[in-house]
Amino acid sequence: MDSQNSSDIQEEELFEHHKVVAPNGQKPLRVDKFLMNFIENATRNKIQQAAKDGYVWVNGQSVKQNYKVKAADEVKVMFAHPPHEFLLVAENIPLDIVYEDEALLVLNKPAGMVVHPGHGNYSGTLINALLHHIENLPVNSSERPGLVHRIDKDTSGLLVVAKTEKAMTHLSKQFFDKTSEREYVALVWGNIADDEGTIEGHLGRHPKNRLQMHVFPEADQGKEAVTHYKVLERLGYVTLVSCVLETGRTHQIRVHMKHLGHTLFNDERYGGEKILKGTTFTKYKQFVENAFKILPRQALHAKTLGFVHPVTKKMMRFETELPEDMTTCIEKWRAYSQYNQ
């Protein structure tokens, strides 16, 4: 191999590629703003810098950040990032372990912690912490050590981690077969009409914003998704609700509740960071903005987790209390709703 080709391959390994084809009906939009809708954790400044460096292309031609993307344009961007071997580094990060034995551990993930390394999050993740805590973690089909399932960065709550190959296989099958038990507690906008119900609708990537998931009523798109919900407490302009997952799709509860007309409180990705219900009074606006500050993330907590132990074959069930940011926000809404009855 000549030195030129060797150099090209090394450079190729040091870049993260993203390719997006603008959907039909795409109105002209600056390429930096367009890419913000498709690349998770990429700041506008980073995209603009990539364009200045000549690493943003439209239909094979390098463009500046003010290029207007149109329907059917093929947009490609490259970002520098650490080589793959640096992504899985053990880091001494404290873990809130609820249960642990030789086969598995159950932990309570705090909001704000990313589960596995990826674009924009190369350290400080749950996997970095697990690699420090456990030697020789088994790897799943996506090459992610120990992971049987995952929860979003800004969702708190329970996760089970496999410590052996046998546990990985056994637990993964339970999640695939929908026999595991997963209950979440969410605070959502609005007063849900029914005390309980089931939301069904295939989930897939949003056709215009790839960072969002979308409910497709027809079964020919997306994957089957089923969420059972039950109202826990009505708090005026918001509702506290229990959501039990029958399936486990990306953003499932967040998308299903929005589809029902009740977006999660302060869920920025799905519009819940806006005042969606209530009055126009200035005092109410100030109240909601203070509640956002108390709970600066989507109001979602993985409260209950149940599964059959891969070795003992006994049913195990774990529960956690709601974290302080959620309980404080709920108490604030409770007091407000009682005062304004």
Annotated catalytic residues are 152
Rg (CA), the chain: 22
Tokens 């200035």, residue located: 282
Report which of 30, 29, 34, 31 is spatially closest to residue 211, judged by C-alpha positions.
34
Residue 97 near residue 105, CB atoms below 8 Å: yes
Q: Quick one: tokens of 123?
A: 């350290």
SS3 of 121, please? Answer: strand
Sign of CA dihedral 119, 94, 253, 292: negative
Contact present, 95 and 315 (Cβ < 8 Å): no
Torsion angle of C-alpha atoms 17, 154, 227, 330, degrees rounded to 10: -160
Pairing of strands 300-308, 156-162: parallel
Helices 282-294 and 324-339 pack at an angle, to 10 degrees, of 160
Rounded distance, CA 44 to CA 52, Å? 12
Three-class secondary structure of residue 92 per DSSP: coil
Distance, in Å, from the CA atom of 232 to the CA atom of 241, rounded to the nearest integer, reads 5
Give the C-alpha separation, 225 to 247, whole Å.
5
Give the C-alpha separation, 71 to 74, whole Å: 9
CB 60 within 8 A of CB 75: no
Could you give the CA distance from residue 213 to residue 270 in angstroms, rounded to a whole number? 9
